[in-house]
Structure 1
Amino acid sequence: MKQVKTIKNKILSHSEKSFEPTLIIYREALKFTVDVVNKEWSILEGSSTKEAIRIIEKLMHQTKSNPSPKYNFTLCFYKFPSYLRRAAISKSFGIVNSYRSNYKNWENEKSKAIADGKAFNKKPSKLGVDYNEFPVFYKDNMFIRTDVDEAKIKVYLNHDWVWVKVKFNNKNLKNRNITDWKENNPTLIKVGKKYFINFSYEKEIKLNKTKLKDQTIISVDLGITNSAVCSVMRSDGTVIGCRFINQPLEKDRLRITVNKLKKAQRLSGKIEAPNYWRKINGLQNHIKVNTAVEIVKFADLHQASVIVFEYLGKMKLPSGVYGAKRLRHKLHYWSKIGIQSKVEEMAHYRGIRIRRVNAKYTSALAFDGSGEVKRNNKKDLATFKSGKVYHADLSASYNIGARYFVREILKSFSEKKRLRLKAKVPSIVARTRLTLASLISLHQALSTKGALTKA
């Protein structure tokens, strides 16, 4: 599978005034090309991006063989670099294609609602007017690398396209292992008042193909009290390690900041409060990245083949909860999504696979198969029916790993053999009731027949 990573490098040698005109004229050109693509959609619909670029260039680019195009782009944007023009057309084709597709879906939803006699209040999608896109500097045409931390780029300055030498911070390039990655064309990015050159790299990575009986997995429960609880498990249900990951200081600061934000909104109405949100987003990002890094480190330590998560599904907000508590619930859900996405990205770089299992009852059932548990007020401890007290998230991580192995083992058998196994191990019939005890029982049933080696 193809993997892509982007490395951001801050430009050190120039002020924002040097690059602002380039950004403005590129976005004006993008606005022009979006309008052209939208007007000519009847002849572009169903075309590939390459075909669309050829058709649109003929409609708007003035040349000797095409002296009078239908839309004179050259007159409006004199000496506009050819590769940048094609990049703008390509981006415009994607924007209009997305808009047309969304509008068609809206029309279908509306027709279906009217046919069913239901009210339909959903508004149609609109084609944007302003686009916060950034220009790509194609190599040789607009970008020439002169040193590891220097380059010449073509920018729009003083009403002309000129070459400018820039120096950028290459610390991020040094810290990343990119020797065997292919470097793509860089992009000029603006963050706040600062400009960066973003280099993207791509590589074809083969994910591991470890046999199921030889697999060691990391099962992860993204809990309430801890950011993540990880367990190392083998195919026979043996747990050989666990890890608790949490950021108590950051979470405490996040709770305080959220409370301050909601208090300010109670006093002043629904204000934007950018300073509060900057702090909240910064703390959220730290929790997400730190948790993902620790999970992948733990996987590397135990040479894991697979990392298993729960399916998150749609966010369900508790009824009757408002204010700061409701916002904290949203932030917790968004953090879970961010952690899974970041782990998936980092794991694939290392050839580790990602799998997800049904989340229902993973925390509610005891891993020893004794049934449902009772959790304390803090939701961190669970009392089994036998009276044993265990960490709730750790028990859930055992069940998550077990569900993965049971699913994969049963997948390799025919329906006839699966029915025989279900008769011998009734606990595997309902997938939402699977626990670690179910996996151990299944393994024992298979071992007596010597069937595990076939799996």
Structure 2
Amino acid sequence: MAQKPVAKTIRTDQWQLAPNSEQKQYMLNTVREYRRLCRFLVTVVCTHWVKLGTLSSDNLVPAVERLVHATTKNPHPKYPQINKAFPKFPSYLRRAAIMFAAGQVSSYMTRYRNWQSGQSRHRRDAKPPILNSEAGCYPALYKGQCFKLHSFEQVEIKVFTGKDWIWTTIQITSWRERHLVANNKIKSPSLIIDGKRCHLSVPFECHPEKVRGTGFVVAVDLGLNTTATVSVVSRNGTVIHREFIHPGRDIDRRDKRLKSVSMRAKKTMGKGGKLNSGFCKHIYRKCRNINQQIGHIVSQRITQIAQEYSVDAIVFEDLKGWKPKGGKKRSTLKQRFHGWLKSLIVNLTQSKWAEMGGKTVTVIAAYTSKLAFDGSGTLQRDSKNYALATFQNGKHYNCDLNGSYNIAARGWLKLDGRKDYEKRPSKNSGRLPRSWACLCDLWYNDRPKLA
């Protein structure tokens, strides 16, 4: 029986191009001409928004074309100067520009209504929003009309020379492998070009087959001492794989740069004063890029483990709304919490695993690391090494591994439809909330019932 495809997802690849100097100039002309038309169309659409704003996207494009484009059935448009300013402009590029202009005006109108009603005013003298027609947009290339693909090695693009529109063939130097997946469908790419490089931003409509689970889940405990602690747990509570993911080299590179910021701030301010708004912005930009790299490394390894064991789901703690707490005086704990990439890793893993057809669930985070997985009660962390813990029965264990086991148990209870495990008891009850499940609960549920 064939597997049912899950809901479609959109992912974008970058295909690097290698144009010569003449082709690069043509592509720059194309982007400039496209943006110039968008500025004209934003004005037209804003002027007639009372009528255009009520139309659907299928009806809006023909309505705007009747205002600006002359045809045999529409020989006298309301704005004939646009035809004169943009001769031989490709029709599909013009329609893409119309949709972009409509989006700009729609966004402006929404923000202006919010400003009028006071929803977006944080001060009484807040100024109204401004309609921006100088947005840095890029042309969308429709297949067969603006670009033609030749065996994923060369692409033929319609470009503007400054006087005429011509076809030019450009070599593709690098790409990813999404085009090799049979269920992926290529959508209309965008031509992206700056002063140094140019590429095609190619979106793919992905229809992955749903992963058929083999009775395992991947539980991930995100921490400070170890970036991610991963365990693969079966439905009956058997742990078959454990792994610590901690790209220490990248973390050291980031922390070293952040330390240089504090040293430079001391030299700049001295004992008093203020820092300007752009202080060390290049260092912060590098640190953000390093964080992105760390997130990709960790999320990629998590999805690799999930794919290797064909797991039913990847389980994370629900840490939305969590706020860091400061430690003792002169402690760097709060600063370390701000460098915690919990949300970034979860978002990247969800995105990658969804593209493979997998499922991701979140569970309640309370007491995952404080309760012993064997049911012996709360544990005591080591004062010198916070990653180690001692159970009440005297067992010494890694606290992050213990937390990942409990996360897996809660994930299984949620996947099995145990809705009652998230309910908390009344205040008069002396029992722990059922949401604070541990790995031992899977052992008890797996025991055969006596007659």
TM range (shorter): 0.7 to 0.9
Would you say the 8 A contact 1:262–1:324 is kept in 2?
no
- Deviations along 1:8-65, whole A, 9 cap, x unmatched? 1221122443322222222222233233333322223343222221222222223333
Q: Which amino acid aligns with 2:167?
A: W
Output the CA distance in 1 between the equivalents of 2:45 and 2:20.
Answer: 35
Higher helix fraction (1 or 2): 1
* 3-state SS in 1 of match to 2:449: helix
* 1:7-406 matched pairs, under 5 angstroms: 7-15=13-21, 16-72=24-80, 73-105=82-114, 110=119, 126-169=130-173, 171-173=174-176, 177-190=180-193, 193-208=196-211, 210=213, 215-268=215-268, 269-270=275-276, 271=278, 273-314=280-321, 316-318=323-325, 329-332=337-340, 335-369=341-375, 370-371=377-378, 373-374=380-381, 376=383, 379-406=386-413
Output the CA distance in 2 between the equivalents of 1:7 and 1:207.
Answer: 22
Shift of the 100–216 alpha-carbon distance from structure 1 to 2, 3 Å rule, reads farther
- Deviations along 1:330-371, whole A, 9 cap, x unmatched? 442xx3323222222221232211111122332333323312
Shift of the 239–54 alpha-carbon distance from structure 1 to 2, 3 Å rule, reads same
Would you say the 8 A contact 1:215–1:306 is kept in 2?
no
Shift of the 375–43 alpha-carbon distance from structure 1 to 2, 3 Å rule, reads farther
Would you say the 8 A contact 2:26–2:162 is kept in 1?
no
* 3-state SS in 1 of match to 2:360: strand
Aligned pair count reads: 430
Q: Which amino acid aligns with 2:208?
A: I
CA offset at residue 216 of structure 1?
0.9
Q: Which amino acid aligns with 1:91?
A: F
Would you say the 8 A contact 1:262–1:323 is kept in 2?
no
CA offset at residue 292 of structure 1?
1.2
CA offset at residue 225 of structure 1?
1.7
Would you say the 8 A contact 1:311–1:356 is kept in 2?
yes
Would you say the 8 A contact 1:306–1:354 is kept in 2?
yes
CA offset at residue 147 of structure 1?
4.6
Q: Which amino acid aligns with 1:33?
A: L
Can you give the 5+ residue segments of structure 1 that lack an aligned partner in the other structure?
451-455
Q: Which amino acid aligns with 1:389?
A: H
* 3-state SS in 1 of match to 2:249: helix
Output the CA distance in 1 between the equivalents of 2:45 and 2:445.
Answer: 59
Output the CA distance in 2 between the equivalents of 1:245 and 1:401.
Answer: 17
- Deviations along 1:223-281, whole A, 9 cap, x unmatched? 11222111111222222211111101110011001122343345453335454244323
Would you say the 8 A contact 1:428–1:438 is kept in 2?
no
Q: Which amino acid aligns with 1:219?
A: A
Would you say the 8 A contact 2:61–2:95 is kept in 1?
yes
Would you say the 8 A contact 2:296–2:348 is kept in 1?
yes
| Percent identity of paired positions between Structure 1 and Structure 2 | 28
Would you say the 8 A contact 2:326–2:334 is kept in 1?
no
Which 10-residue stretch deviates more, 70-79 or 396-405?
Answer: 70-79
Q: Which amino acid aligns with 2:251?
A: K
Give the TM-score normalised by structure 2.
0.82
* 3-state SS in 2 of match to 1:382: strand
Which 10-residue stretch deviates more, 94-103 or 243-252?
Answer: 94-103
Q: Which residue does 1:453 correspond to in 2?
A: none
Give the TM-score normalised by structure 1.
0.82
- Deviations along 1:186-213, whole A, 9 cap, x unmatched? 2211366210123222232232465xxx
Would you say the 8 A contact 2:178–2:184 is kept in 1?
no
Which 10-residue stretch deviates more, 214-223 or 14-23?
Answer: 14-23
Can you give the 5+ residue segments of structure 2 that lack an aligned partner in the other structure?
1-6, 269-274
Shift of the 31–379 alpha-carbon distance from structure 1 to 2, 3 Å rule, reads farther
Output the CA distance in 1 between the equivalents of 2:193 and 2:330.
Answer: 36
Output the CA distance in 2 between the equivalents of 1:235 and 1:32.
Answer: 61
CA offset at residue 378 of structure 1?
5.4
* 3-state SS in 1 of match to 2:88: coil
